[in-house]
Amino acid sequence: MKIPPKDMKTGFIRYSTDIDLEEILLWLEDQDRASVDGTFHCNKNLTIESHNEGELLVYIDSETNKAIAYQWGGLITPGILEVRADKRRQGISKALEYRINEARINNNCLLRIQCEPASSIPFWKRMGFQLYGNNMNYAYRLLRKKHDLPDNGIGVPVKISFYPEQRKWNDNTLPIKTFTPYAVQTPNDYVYLSELIPFFDTTNEFRQDTVISIHVDGKLIYLDKAKYEEAIELGVSRDNGAFYLDKIKSNKAHKQT
């Protein structure tokens, strides 16, 4: 789902036209010839492909009516955000909030980017991203959401913990992250959480499977891998490498180790 174009003080954001693409390719070529740091002329074919698929987001300067920045990848798959060299450091990159809101509306909870050039790292940090990985030029951001709770629900304690895979065979394994959100249980035994609970394991170098435990009202109702069908039936969802929950189907029978 795409959100409507957004007006800003110096211009506006929308999806690209053929004219926008021509303008972007022109200044990419100029910047490449001038060896401008952080220009992505080498990725022009992917930029063209993104435009052809209707996924190239552009920032239009209100004075010239020309595209002076673009973004593709949606922050969900590896992508690019670039501002024309003479327009950098003018706050235009903050238009990235458009993409973040778009991801939130589409129920994406994990955003991931590659910080290239490395000089862009401070910007990404200001936008709420955290570095991870061995080479430290990748960053992620988890999107949180608050939920309105049903009026007919009764408050119930909930604890959700995420573990490395060895929790399957080692009871002494400590959780990587534990959440205790406010929650209410309705007469149909659904448990609604006051906020979306997201988890992304940045320490998982060996692609091990995440284990999740879920306690409702002091009772363990699930302890096993988050990817299993039983966990999905319970309410665990997956988005681009992250797991998340916003409600629990506590009236199901669940597998436990």
Q: Is the separation of the CB atoms in 86 and 76 below 8 Å?
A: no
Q: 131-157, pLDDT tens digit by residue? A: 987 766 788 889 888 999 999 999 999
Which has more confidence, 176 or 122?
A: 176
Mean of pLDDT values over 7-18:
78
Give residue 71's Cα distance to chain centre.
15
For 50, residues 6+ apart whose C-beta sits below 8 A from its C-beta are: 56, 72, 73
What pLDDT does 191 receive? 96
| Per-residue confidence (pLDDT) for residue 252, from 0 to 100 | 58
pLDDT digits (tens, 9 = 90+) for 77-123: 667 888 898 888 877 776 667 778 778 877 788 888 877 777 778 88
Query: Which of residues 195 and 90 earns the better pLDDT score?
Result: 195
Domains detected in the chain: 6-142 (3.40.630.30), 154-249 (no CATH)
Return the pLDDT at 255.
Answer: 46
Give the residue from 245, 246, 240, 244 showing the smallest Cα distance to 111. Answer: 240
**SS3 (DSSP) at 70:** strand
Give the pLDDT confidence score for residue 253 in this predicted structure: 45
Q: Is the pLDDT of residue 257 over 60?
A: no
Residue 33, pLDDT score: 94
38: left (phi over 0), alpha (psi -120 to 50) or beta: left
**Residue 203: band (very low, low, confident or very high) from pLDDT cuts 50, 70, 90:** confident
Q: Which of 32-41, 129-138, 173-182 has the lowest mean pLDDT?
A: 129-138
Out of 81-85, 163-167, 202-206, pick the least confident: 202-206
Range 168-171, long-range pairs (CB < 8 A, 24+ positions): 168/211, 168/224, 168/225, 168/257
Query: How big is the CA angle at 75 (ends 144 and 55), to the nearest 5 degrees?
Result: 125
| Rounded CA separation 27/162 (Å) | 46
For residue 34, the tally of other CB atoms under 10 A from its CB is 9
More confident residue, 100 or 206: 100
Q: How confident is the model at residue 2 (pLDDT cuts 50, 70, 90)?
A: low
| Res. 73 pLDDT band, cuts 50 70 90 | confident
